[in-house]
Amino acid sequence: MTTTLEPALGTSAEHRRTAAGTFRPRRLLSSVPEALSKLHPRHQLRNPVMFVVWTGSALTTVLAAFSPSAFTIAVAAWLWFTVLFANLAEAVAEGRGRAQAESLRRTRTEAVARKLVDGGERKVPGTALAIGDEVVVEAGETIPGDGDVVEGIATVDESAITGESAPVIRESGGDRSAVTAGTTVLSDRIVVRITAAPGETFVDRMIALVEGAQRQKTPNEIALTILLSTLTIIFLLAVVALQPMAAYSGSLIEVTTLTALLVCLIPTTIGALLSAIGIAGMDRLVQRNVLAKSGRAVEAAGDVDTLLLDKTGTITFGNRRCTELVPVDGVGPDELAEVARLSSLADPTPEGSSVVAFCAQEFGLPEPAVGAEVGARKVPFTAQTRMSGIDLDGRSIRKGAISALRDHVGELPDQVVRCADEIAASGATPLVIAENDRVMGVIRLSDVVKPGMRERFAELRAMGIRTVMITGDNELTARAIAAEAGVDDYLAEAKPEDKMALIKREQAGGRMVAMTGDGTNDAPALAQADVGVAMNTGTSAAKEAGNMVDLDSDPTKLIEIVEIGKQLLITRGALTTFSIANDLAKYFAILPALFVGIHPQLGALNVMGLSTPNSAVLSAVVFNALIIVALIPLALRGVRYRPSTAAVLLRRNLLVYGLGGVVTPFAGIWLIDLVIRFVPGIG
C-alpha cells in the first residue's frame, strides 16, 4: 500500500502545523462520544487516580438510587462529569493525531511495482514486495515501498510526506538515497531496493504513531503515576479514618460526603490531564514535521545536557560565500569588483554565483552576462583546473586557488601571499584574481554562520545545555567558526568513531546527549545518543538508528526539538503543582463543613463563608470537575517556554501555578456556592 495525499494536504507544512496546533472549543464537543466510550472500567484501570473517581461515582450512584436526595444525586452526577471530562482531555489529544492519521489513511492507493526478476521486469502489487526486492521507478510513477536508491538519480516529489512542494534529489551511493512509499518520481529513472515490508513502511508507522496506537507511558510518566497513586492511597486512608473519629464524637458522616471529600483531595486534576499532556507533546513534534518513535524520546529531549551539531548546514549555510574583495596596491575596489565578476560568469558553483551576487549588491554591477560578455570565450570551473575565467576583448581574466593561479601567472606578490595566509588562518578560503599576467587581488570565501545562531546558543546556555560543533574541517577553520557562532566547544576533523567516543564521554559524565545525522556512518552515533534525530533525506540505516526522524531534513530543528521536550516536562510539572496546590482550598471548603455540626468552633475555618455543609461539599465537587475542562487547552498547547535556568523555572512554577492553584479554587468554589445555595434540597 502507498499513500498519495490530496493537494490540500500537501500544500504547506506551516499551514498544517497551524491548523493542527490551534485548540478550538468545538473539538470538545466532537470528542464527547470518544470520551463516553472510555468510561469502561478496563480503560479506567490504567489510571489509578481516575479509577478511584470512577469507583466513587459508581458508589454514589448506587446510594442515590436506594436513598435518593437532591444532594446525593447532584454529587453522583458531578463525579461522573469529572470522569467524563478526564476522558475528554485524552480524547481531544488523541483526536488531533487521529485526524492527521485519517487524512493519510483515506488517500492510500494500491500501487503496482515493476519488480526486477532475472534481468527483466515483472509487474506485481506493491503489497507483494519483500525486503531486498529491487523495483524500477520512472518519471510520473509512485514509489511502491520504502527503500534505498541503488541505481540512477531522480527528482522526487515528497509533498505527500513533508507538505513541501519543492522536489528533492535522490541518488545512489550517497547519504541522500532513501525514498519513501507514496512519493512520486518527477524525472529520470531509478532502481530502488526495498527495505521495509508492506504494512511496516514509514507512512504506516507514522499513522500508528500520530494516532497514539503505539504510545506507551514514559519513565517520567510512570514515576509520576506512582507518586499520584501513593498520594491517593494516603488520602484514602485518611478519609476512611474520619468516620471512626466522627462516630467517637457522637455523629456519623454520610458516605456520599466522604466520597466527595476523597475525590476532591486526591490529585484529580493532574491525574485527568497526565495522558493528554504526553500525547500533546508528541503531537507538537508532528506539527513541526518531526516523527518521534516513542514518548521516551520526547522526554529525553527535555532532559538534554549536550547538543552535538554539524557545522555544515546547521551552524553555517554550508556553501562558502564571497564576503570580501581585497585589492593589491595600485588596484581600486571598483576595478577589482569588475574583474571578479567577469571571472565568475562561467563558474556555476555556489561559490562562483556568490561572487557575482556580492559584486551586484556591493558595487551595483549586473548579475547576468550582458553585451559582448554573452559571446565571450568562457572558461568554466573544473575540479582539475580549480580555476574559472573569461577571455574578452584581448583580456584574459582568471580566478582560482593560489596554486592554480601560481601555475597560470608565475610567482605571486608577497602581499597576495600574506593576505591569502591571513584569510586561511581565519577559517575562510582565499581565491586569487588575475588579468593577463597581473594579479589584481584576493577574494575571501567564508562559510557564513546563519543569522541568530549566537543568540540561539546563548539561550541554550541559559538552559544549562552545552553545545558542541562537529566538523571535518581543520583545527584553524573549526576554531574560527566556533568562535563566530558562539558554541561552547568543537570537534575538528571528526570521523564517525570520534563522534561515538565523544557521545560516550558525555554520557559517562551523567549527561544526556542529542545529535543529528543522515548518513550510514552516522548510524552508530545516532543509536548511542539519547536523542538521535535522523534526516528524512538520509539513508535507511540512519533513520532506523535514530529515535526521531525530521521530515524536513533541517538540522537546526534539533534546537526546536529540545525546546518542545522541555515544554512537555514544564507543562507536566506546572499542572502537577497546580493540582496539588488547589487541594488546599478544597480542604478548607469541605473539612470544616463535615465537622462544624459536632465542633462549632471549626466554623472559623470556613473562610469562604459557604452557606451550608452540603453546599460546600457540592461546590468543591463541581469546581473539581470544571477545572479539568478549563485546563485542557493549556495541557494541549503546553505552558509557554522561556529559556532559563532550573531555579528560575521552579520559582516561576511556584509563583504562577503554586500560588494560582491555591487562590483559584477559593474564588471558584465561592462563586459556585453563590449559585448552589439557592438550589432546593442542597443550599
Whether 579 has a binding-site annotation, put simply, is no
Whether 453 has a binding-site annotation, put simply, is no
Whether 121 has a binding-site annotation, put simply, is no
Tell me the C-alpha distance between 9 and 104, whole Å.
Answer: 9
Q: Residue 315's closest CA among 430, 90, 443, 471?
A: 471
Fill in the amino acid letter for 513: V
Tell me the C-alpha distance between 468 and 451, whole Å.
Answer: 18
Quick check: is 329 catalytic?
no
Helix (H) or strand (E) holding 369: none
CA angle 594, 596, 599 (to 5 degrees): 120
| DSSP states along 406-423 | HHHHSSPPHHHHHHHHHH
Q: Residue 2's closest CA among 183, 134, 137?
A: 183
Residue 107 and residue 5 in contact, taking contact as beta carbons nearer than 8 Å: yes
Whether 133 has a binding-site annotation, put simply, is no
Whether 552 has a binding-site annotation, put simply, is no
Cα 480 to its chain centre, rounded Å, is: 30
Whether 563 has a binding-site annotation, put simply, is no
Whether 388 has a binding-site annotation, put simply, is yes
Whether 387 has a binding-site annotation, put simply, is yes
Which residue is it, cell 564571497? 322
Take residue 60 and report the three cell numbers written for it. 454514589
Whether 306 has a binding-site annotation, put simply, is no
Tell me the C-alpha distance between 665 and 183, whole Å.
Answer: 53
Helix (H) or strand (E) holding 548: strand 548-550
Which residue is it, cell 570565501? 445
Residue 558 phi/psi, 5° resolution?
Answer: -55, -35
Whether 518 has a binding-site annotation, put simply, is yes
Residues comprising the chain, all counted = 683
Rg (CA), the chain: 33
Dihedral sign for Cα 88, 295, 512, 638, please: negative
Whether 351 has a binding-site annotation, put simply, is yes
Report in angstroms the alpha-carbon separations of 516 from 149, 151, 490, 542, 569: 22, 26, 15, 10, 22
Tell me the C-alpha distance between 663 and 584, whole Å.
Answer: 9
Tell me the C-alpha distance between 343 and 341, whole Å.
Answer: 5
Tell me the C-alpha distance between 271 and 543, whole Å.
Answer: 35
Report in angstroms the alpha-carbon separations of 95 from 209, 221, 355: 13, 21, 52
Helix (H) or strand (E) holding 490: strand 489-491
Which residue is it, cell 597581473? 438
Whether 386 has a binding-site annotation, put simply, is yes
Tell me the C-alpha distance between 407 and 182, whole Å.
Answer: 52
Whether 385 has a binding-site annotation, put simply, is yes
Fill in the amino acid letter for 153: I
Tell me the C-alpha distance between 362 and 459, whole Å.
Answer: 33
Catalytic annotation, pick one of 310, 473, 530, 552: 310
Three-class HEC string of 426-456: CCCEEEEEEECCEEEEEEEEECCECCCHHHH
Binding annotation: 347, 351, 381-388, 399, 518, 522
Binding annotation for ATP: 347, 351, 381-388, 399
- By annotation, the residues acting in catalysis are 310
Binding annotation for Mg(2+): 518, 522
